[in-house]
Amino acid sequence: MSDFYTAWLERSKSNQKIVDEAPRVARGKDLKWMRTPQDYKAALMIAPETGFPTGGSCLMRAEIPVGWRTGKHSHGEEAIYVESGEGFMILDDKRYDFFPGTIFHIPYRSTHQLFNSGKAPVGYLSGLAWHLEADVYMGKIEQLGECGENDAKVLAAFPKEESQNWPEDGRRISMHQNQQEKSDESKHGATNRMASRQPAWRSVRSSSI
């Protein structure tokens, strides 16, 4: 009978083999688009389901048609990058506007929903750690409403944006492209620092290679 440590060694070898043989690039032509309760159109890009052993994280791409909204839900922390289109997000009953280049940080278990209020489809990237959270039994997803067409009266009743920060603790929720500060670092190409009036440890960096 094998001891537990020998079993760990064997699993380590197996894991390394999976990593060595895993894909390195996600291509748009390979994306499998589908309709979900949350998104009119969504596709996993980098995730265990697409053959990438990510260690618990995943990256997906989604689109919101003109005149539509996403579903409303809550889950673990999430990062969203808006590629195209305009609209706003309602997070914990507060409004945060977005434009191409806007970045969102979704706090853990905060309810949120995106609305396309512009004249072009909204395209966005979403980064999550769902698989890791699920494996450690913290991956609770609660669906509070499904995606669908906007109601003009409901849209008009939403309040205007008051702040880009979260009222709970002041952390930054949204940052637009013209608010990002380019650093002097060049090791991995251009680096933008998405800092705000908050402690240095909360600054987030985004690199374009």
Reported as a single tens digit per residue, the pLDDT across 22-78 is: 999 999 899 999 999 999 999 999 999 999 999 899 999 999 999 999 999 999 999
What is the amino acid identity at position 51?
A: G
CA distance 70 to 36: 10
Residue 202 confidence (pLDDT): 43
Q: What is the Cβ-side half-sphere exposure of residue 46, based on CA atoms within 13 angstroms?
A: 17
pLDDT digits (tens, 9 = 90+) for 122-135: 999 999 999 999 99
Residue 185 confidence (pLDDT): 67
CA distance 120 to 73: 24
CA distance 14 to 40: 37
Residue 2 confidence (pLDDT): 80
**pTM, two decimal places:** 0.84
Instruction: Reply yes or no on whether the pLDDT at 207 is more than 80.
Output: no
Give the mean pLDDT of 140-151.
97
Residue 110 near residue 178 (C-beta atoms within 8 A): no
Q: Supply 153's token pair.
A: 């009266």
- Which CATH fold would you assign to the domain 25-179? Jelly Rolls (2.60.120)
Instruction: Reply yes or no on whether the pLDDT at 163 is more than 90.
Output: yes
Banded pLDDT at 91 (limits 50, 70, 90): very high
In the chain, domain spans:
25-179
- Which residues in 48-85 are b (16+ Cβ under 10 Å) and which e? bebebeeebbbbbbbbbbebbbbbbbbbbebbbbbeeb
For residue 91, CA distances in Å to 88, 96, 104, 116 come to: 10, 8, 10, 15
CA distance 21 to 8: 20
Total residue count of the chain as it appears in this document: 209
Give the mean pLDDT of 187-198.
51
Task: Decide: helix, strand or coil at residue 202.
Answer: helix
CA distance 165 to 123: 23
Mean pLDDT across the chain: 89
Place of tokens 């702040």: 163
Banded pLDDT at 1 (limits 50, 70, 90): low
CA distance 173 to 184: 25
Residue 199 confidence (pLDDT): 43
CA distance 97 to 182: 22
